[in-house]
Amino acid sequence: MLFGKLLPREGNFFEMFNQHADRIVEAAHAFSQLVANYNDPHLRDKYNQDVDNAERAADRVTHDVNRAIHKTFITPIDREQIHGLINTMDDVADLIQDSAETMALY
């Protein structure tokens, strides 16, 4: 019993992947609205902020996954694959944010 508490098995990685994917969808939807409402400065600022909020939430999930990798003794898939997947997913969120910021400049 004590051994199991010291060395936890299988964190909730797939749940966290789904949470991160949901944040990507939120960022993409906000970016789509930003493009559709580009000529309205108020809406442009609102949707740009929505993209930023979704990206920051995605970053928090990424940090949670990376912490869980180090705390979990037995992971459902290889640690490097988990790390690579969540970082690639985070790159998608970062690119959406970068695109929104670029649009806000012009």
Per residue of the chain (106 residues), give pLDDT as tens.
444 454 455 669 999 999 999 999 999 999 999 999 999 999 999 999 999 999 999 999 999 999 999 999 899 999 999 999 999 999 999 999 999 999 988 7
Whether the pTM exceeds 0.85: the reply is: yes
Alpha carbon separation from 79 to 27, 88, 101 (Å, rounded): 27, 14, 33
Tell me what pLDDT residue 9 has. 58
34 closest CA partner among 94, 89, 99 = 99
- Give the architecture (CATH level 2) of 13-105: Up-down Bundle (1.20)
| Predicted local distance difference test score (pLDDT) of residue 105 | 85
Q: Sketch the domain layout of the chain as residue ranges.
A: 13-105
